[in-house]
Amino acid sequence: MLNPMISFLLFFLLASPSFLASCGSEAVDPRPRALPSFKIQEIKEEIGSSCSYTVKIKTSCSSGRFTSDRISLAFGDAYRNEVYAPRLDDPSSAVFERCSTDTFKIQGPCGYGICYLYLRRDGYDGWTPEWVKVYEPRATRAITFSYGSPLPNGIWYGFNQCPKSSSSDRMMQI
């Protein structure tokens, strides 16, 4: 049997949020989230800093046969290098049909590890993406963001898996 003082200290250390955070036990929620406060950054026009990204989007088989919704995309890295595509849909073509995968070439600032991605749907069809894959110019693999549920209308919806900038961002609760 452990000494009561040692038991107390072990319990305190193991239950402490700062101890758990320092162990890297912070869970990342794999589900997309609504982000009403998301704002597109001002586009930086810098000479020689443009990269070409390949983005693949699979429309869910549970989605409608086609959509007339307006679909926008924004993604970026932890250094605020953001790529924005204000309108990916094209009502005159077969983009975003049920069970299809569409590929886009998008220009934007060169990033260093995509860690957030948001989609926005404006319309009445209730378009449902299955997943979005972003191929960075210098990377050998794609970063995949899994959706699988209809996007809410008129709001940015997606993922932010960027690392926190510092330990001061965390609130210690005791």
pLDDT 10s digits, 38-56: 666 655 544 447 999 999 9
Residue 19 in contact with residue 11, Cβ under 8 Å? no
Structural domain boundaries, residue 87: 49-163
What per-residue confidence (pLDDT) applies to 42?
Answer: 54
Residue 127 lies in a domain: yes
What per-residue confidence (pLDDT) applies to 90?
Answer: 81
Residue 125 lies in a domain: yes
Side-chain half-sphere exposure of 149, counting CA atoms within 13 A: 9
Q: Which CATH number do you get for residue 140?
A: 2.60.60.20
- Number of domain units in the chain: 1
* Rounded-to-integer distance, Cα 63 and Cα 130, Å: 9
Share of the chain above pLDDT 70, in %: 68
pLDDT 10s digits, 60-113: 999 988 888 999 999 999 998 999 999 998 877 879 999 999 999 999 999 989
- What average pLDDT does this structure show over 130-155? 93
Mean of per-residue pLDDT scores for the chain: 78
- Which of the four pLDDT bands, split at 50, 70 and 90, describes residue 34? confident
Residue 35 lies in a domain: no
What per-residue confidence (pLDDT) applies to 93?
Answer: 80
Three-class DSSP labels, the chain: CCCHHHHHHHHHHHHCHHHHHHCCCCCCCCCCEECCCCCCCCCCCCCCCEEEEEEEEEECCCCCCCCCCEEEEEEECCCCCEEEECCCCCCCCCCCCCCCEEEEEEEEECCCCCCEEEEEEECCCCCCEEEEEEECCCCCCEEEEECCCCCCECCEEEEECCCCCCHHHCCCCC
Residue 156 lies in a domain: yes
Residue 135 lies in a domain: yes
Residue 131 lies in a domain: yes
What per-residue confidence (pLDDT) applies to 147?
Answer: 96
pLDDT 10s digits, 111-141: 989 999 999 999 998 899 999 999 999 888 8
Residue 118 lies in a domain: yes
Residue 32 lies in a domain: no
- Of 31, 29, 32, the residue nearest 119 (C-alpha): 32
